[in-house]
A and B are shown apart, each in its own frame.
Chain A
Amino acid sequence: MFALARLVVIGFIALSIIYVCLSLYSRAVRRSKLKAEWNEDSDGDRDAFIDAGLAEYDGSLRRKLILGVYVVPAVIVALIIYLTNFA
């Protein structure tokens, strides 16, 4: 059980680092896209436009899909265990 605990703990830490990096990167990409959009047809307050766009992003499915960073490896591990030992 110690080996399993080690895998889970180290895996969770590694995936959390990837999750945080990916979240920050994805938000930064969205922010620059919003800036580019505002520059094309500028109407109203720039900061308000970007804040509104980011608020919309925060509730979006796209952002929740980043949780796949945790889900996909767990599914792959379960699949490998099945294929190696029981298939």
Chain B
Amino acid sequence: MVYIKWFFIIVFWVFVAAFFHYTLPQKDIVRVTDTENRRIDFGENSIFWASPDAGNAGVAANRDVFFIQTVRENGSVMVYRNEDTGWGWPPYFKFDTSNLQAEAADLKSTSEAPKWALITHYGWRNEFFTIFPNAISITPMENPDVGKPIPWVNIVILIVFAAIFWAIYVRWRRFRQRRLDPTFEEWQGNIEAAGDAVAERRGRFRRWLGTWRA
């Protein structure tokens, strides 16, 4: 039983970690090689796409999505989608998709004369589902050797989340120890007493039956 319990606890926390890893902003140092606009027919992967530009007509089976193609500092490639998140989830409240596409196009460079940029994004690239991280902002970088800045936003969000979780958890545990456990023990005592009473009565019934046998 203890293994099953730990299995569920570990699965729960893996999901929490994956949720934050997907949703919180991350920064990459990249060189934009191209920007484009592609028609996407959403299928099984539709959950990994955001919303159409704010103000446009909503639920369509397909629509055009901006893409930013990049090469990262370590030489690997990364393709970002560029979509509004609008008023929905995740709460980036991004409405400036077209402006961001213009900024990215302005930073296009070749490998001979690289122009580095710091791109903020959330989400995952996964080839099997054809999903892409969503770019949030892009800023030019004079010197890529400076490295990525310290992710203060993520640190603050995770600390606040941990504090709220802990505050609720200790109060719940205290409530359980003070109120629920004594009540359950009382019930358990009552059930045991009831069981004893039944057993005793049955014993008397048996003895009474025995008197007929003799």
Contact = CB atoms under 8 A, between A and B. Distances in A.
B43 interface: no
Interface of A: 2-4, 6-7, 25, 77, 80-81, 84-86
Contacts, number: 32
A6 B87 contact: yes
B92 A3 contact: no
Given A2-B58, A3-B51, A85 B88 contact: no
Contact of A3 (B86, B91, B94): B86
Interface of A is mostly: helix
B93 A77 contact: yes
A81 B54 contact: no
A84 B87 contact: no
Interface of B: 51, 54, 58, 86-88, 91-96, 99, 136-137, 171
23 contacts: A2-B58, A3-B51, A3-B54, A3-B58, A3-B86, A3-B87, A3-B88, A6-B87, A7-B87, A7-B88, A77-B91, A77-B93, A80-B91, A80-B93, A81-B95, A84-B92, A84-B93, A84-B96, A84-B136, A84-B137, A85-B93, A85-B94, A85-B96
B95 A85 contact: yes
Contacts of A3: 51, 54, 58, 86-88
A80 B91 CA distance: 8
Complex A-B, nearest 3 residue pairs according to Cβ-Cβ distance, in ascending order: A3-B87, A7-B87, A85-B96
Given A3-B54, A81-B93, A81-B95, 12 more contacts: A3-B86, A6-B87, A7-B87, A7-B88, A77-B91, A77-B93, A84-B92, A84-B93, A84-B96, A84-B136, A85-B95, A86-B96
Nearest to A7: B87
A3 to B, nearest CB: 4
Nearest to A86: B96
Nearest to B97: A85
Nearest to B93: A81
Task: Select the residue from B87, B95, B96 with max chain A CB neighbours within 10 A.
Answer: B87
Nearest to A85: B96
B96 A4 contact: no
Nearest to A2: B58
A6 B88 CA distance: 9
